[in-house]
A and B are shown apart, each in its own frame.
Chain A
Amino acid sequence: MTLTITLIALLVTMALALIRAIKGPTVYDRILASNALGTKTVLMIAVLGFVVGDPELYIDIALMYVLIGFIGTVAVLKVSEFGNLGQPQSRTDPEDT
């Protein structure tokens, strides 16, 4: 019962984060919302494992998702801050002060 309520709350939070990702207004809002959505997806998969009754498998998936989500977010932030994926030359770009 509690798991069901948690699952519904996670879905609602995912919807809220999606609205924030669509509304923007800045790039960072969208990155933040996408990252929050990723965290909620990981939690949802972990909770779903207990709802479905096969938590071992679902926890493995959740573990992998959290790592991939971190790599994706850091790559996006590098691009948004330095203009590319962080080759050493990029630090001499004029916009990076």
Chain B
Amino acid sequence: MLIETVNIVLLALLAVTAIAAVRLHDLFAVAMMFSIYSLLAAAMFVLLDAVDVAFTEAAVGVGISTVLMLGTIGLVGRHEQPSTRRSLLPLAVVIATGAALIYGTLDMPFFGDPTAPVHQHVAPFYITGSPSQTGVPNVVTSILASYRGYDTLGELAVIFTAGVGVLALLGLRRRKRPGKEETTK
């Protein structure tokens, strides 16, 4: 009961943060809003017992992506270009897509339904086997880090490459500006 209430409050705060991020025009403030958003989302993931996702969300959302966004703001300026066009058509497209997606969820089994197909197929194998096979107490962690270990390693390589690429892009432009290291270029 208490946990549900906390979940609902966190979801409400998430919605408020998202709306504020859309409405603000100062990009620095929007970056701060995104940082707050990932903080709240990470807290929600902790409540949902998805510890790994919460770790990732906190590290990537609060740490790395805020820093990268701020680096980009340093390059492109702090203020959003005011939009002159009416955005009714995109709004209609988004509403139609959202309605179609919600309509699609009506056929899905309810959240946590034990008779859902996804809980009948391979899930029992992992749930019953993971403590003895891997020795990891958390099932999600055992699947991410042990059964799918190579997959996770590949993801890490991709993310690391992307981070290095973005940092190289941001750093290259920066070095020219002060005019002191022109000789090395």
Q: Do chains A and B touch in the complex (CB under 8 A)?
A: yes
Judging by beta carbons under 8 Å apart, are B32 and A4 in contact?
Answer: no
| Interface of chain A residues 40 through 97 with chain B (CB within 8 A) | 41, 44-45, 48, 51-52, 57-58, 61, 64-65, 68-69, 71-72, 75-76, 79-80, 83-85, 87, 89-90, 92-93
Residues in chain B near residue A27, CB distance under 8 A: 26, 28-29, 32
A68–B70 touching, CB < 8 Å: no
Look across to chain B and name the residue whose beta carbon is closest to the beta carbon of A80. B28
Q: A residues within 8 A CB of B67?
A: 72, 75-76, 79, 85
Scoring B33, B36, B73, B175 by chain A CB atoms within 10 A of each residue's CB, the highest score goes to B36
Q: How far is the CA of A51 from the CA of B3 in the complex (A)?
A: 9
Binary contact readout B146-185 vs A (1 if CB under 8 angstroms, 0 otherwise): 0000000000000000000000000100110010110000
Contacts of B63 in A (CB 8 A): 68, 71-72, 75
Chain B 50-77 near chain A by CB (<8 Å), digits 1 or 0:
0100110011001100110011011000
Interface size grouping (class) on chain A: 35 or more
- The reply to whether B42 and A79 contact each other, CB–CB distance below 8 Å, is no
Range of interface residues on B (Cβ < 8 Å): 35 or more
B136 proximal to A (CB < 8 A):
no
Render B73-109 as a binary contact track against A, CB cut-off 8 A, 1 for contact. Answer: 1100000000000000000000000000000000000
Q: Is the interface of A mostly helix, strand, loop or mixed?
A: helix
Looking at B32, B55, B74, the one whose CB has the most chain A CB atoms below 10 A away is B32
- Asked if A65 and B6 make an inter-chain contact with CB atoms under 8 angstroms apart, the answer reads no
B20 within 8 A of A: yes
Q: Are A18 and B174 in contact (CB under 8 A)?
A: no
A20–B43 Cα distance when bound, in Å, is 20
Q: What is the CA–CA distance of A69 and B33 in the complex, to the nearest angstrom?
A: 14
With A41-B40, A41-B43, A48-B46 in contact, do A61 and B54 touch (Cβ < 8 Å)?
A: yes
Q: In whole angstroms, how far apart are the Cα atoms of A83 and B74 in the complex?
A: 6
